[in-house]
Chain A
């Protein structure tokens, strides 16, 4: 009974259950917290164009947005937050689709990195192509959301406070950005 093997086995089983218990405690202690934060979003410039969408082949409306973003995520980084995935999302309605959601920009903050986001006059990272040609004169809601990647636990997606509504220009722009 008291062989080396039996003892190693017991030790291994015990450390495994302790690890599991700690991971579960991590999940329980952080699962019911409020992860929302205030975000300041400002749109500096919008241009709408109509051009052929690469890969798709059809002519669609293309939006170009320059934005400014301020937020502080220090309180979100508790002991069960490994990474924060921020994404700036545009939501709008068209005659074609009841709901359109386009991620304009994203950013990863790992644990230990600077949790303060201060972005000035950045243009969208992903192409903002509509599914058709319905961007002109449309209303856009722009908001920052984040996805919490825990050490172990629930993958919360949190809508940020401070979303803005934007009226898109009535005509296609010609200016280069």
Chain B
């Protein structure tokens, strides 16, 4: 295999260079993600739709861009991404009812477009409303299909390691 002969021909400096290059790629990805967190105000600015509860608007694998500005109030009709205590995966559903007090304290009820009933059965036992602090972000942008890659990787962990391993190997041994 000529890629491995490539690897053997590398001298020490080139190895350092490739390792640094690899570190660069990892850190720029991290910087972009953290930068997005700062500019969007959301702890998770991009999410992949994992369930069919918002069909036909969002299907499994669609990608959503979120913002979560404090100054921008939540309103009924909006699609919010929120966390429920005791559930690991955030829920992406639409606000169908909202009550806001004079001091800005807000509580709202959500429902998936594709579900027959509202989400009270999904909330933690005894919880009637979602509050502002539960909100991870509000859906603003939409791109279809792109997230299917991460779904496949989560469903088949071996594929994940294979892809990550191959990419890592490629970056390490690839020379211009």
Residue of B nearest to A152 (CB): B143
**Residue A40, interface by CB 8 Å:** no
Binary interface profile of B, 70-102, with partner A (CB < 8 Å = 1, else 0)?
000001111100000000000000101111111
Residue of B nearest to A104 (CB): B96
CB distance from A94 to the nearest CB of B (A): 9
CB distance from A172 to the nearest CB of B (A): 21
Contact of A153 with B141 at beta-carbon distance under 8 Å, contacts A99-B99, A131-B99 already known: yes
**Residue B140, interface by CB 8 Å:** yes
A101 touches B142 (CB 8 A): no
Within 8 A of A (CB), among B28-75: 56-58, 75
Contact of A99 with B100 at beta-carbon distance under 8 Å, contacts A89-B77, A157-B77 already known: yes
B76 touches A102 (CB 8 A): yes
**Residue A83, interface by CB 8 Å:** yes
Residue of A nearest to B98 (CB): A101
A102 touches B102 (CB 8 A): no
Contact of A55 with B57 at beta-carbon distance under 8 Å, contacts A126-B96, A149-B142, A155-B141 already known: no
Tally of contact residues, A, Cβ under 8 A = 31
CB neighbours of A145 from chain B (8 A) = 77
A97 touches B99 (CB 8 A): yes
Of B98, B101, B102, B120, the most chain A CB neighbours within 10 A belong to B98
Within 8 A of A (CB), among B117-148: 118, 120, 128, 139-144
Contact of A155 with B140 at beta-carbon distance under 8 Å, contacts A83-B56, A101-B75, A101-B76 already known: yes
User: What number of residue pairs across chains A and B have CB atoms under 8 A from each other?
Assistant: 81
B141 touches A98 (CB 8 A): no
CB neighbours of B56 from chain A (8 A) = 82-83, 108, 110
A97 touches B100 (CB 8 A): yes
CB neighbours of A56 from chain B (8 A) = 128
Contact of A55 with B128 at beta-carbon distance under 8 Å, contacts A85-B113, A155-B79, A155-B142 already known: yes
A100 touches B99 (CB 8 A): yes
Q: Could you tell me the distance between the alpha carbons of A78 and B97 in the complex, rounded to whole angstroms? A: 30
**Leading 8 A-B pairs by shortest Cβ distance:** A101-B76, A99-B100, A103-B96, A98-B102, A101-B98, A149-B57, A97-B99, A131-B99
* Sample of 16 more A-B contacts, CB < 8 Å, known A147-B94, A152-B144, A155-B141: A97-B101, A98-B101, A99-B98, A101-B75, A101-B77, A101-B99, A102-B97, A106-B96, A126-B96, A126-B118, A131-B99, A145-B77, A149-B57, A155-B79, A157-B75, A157-B78
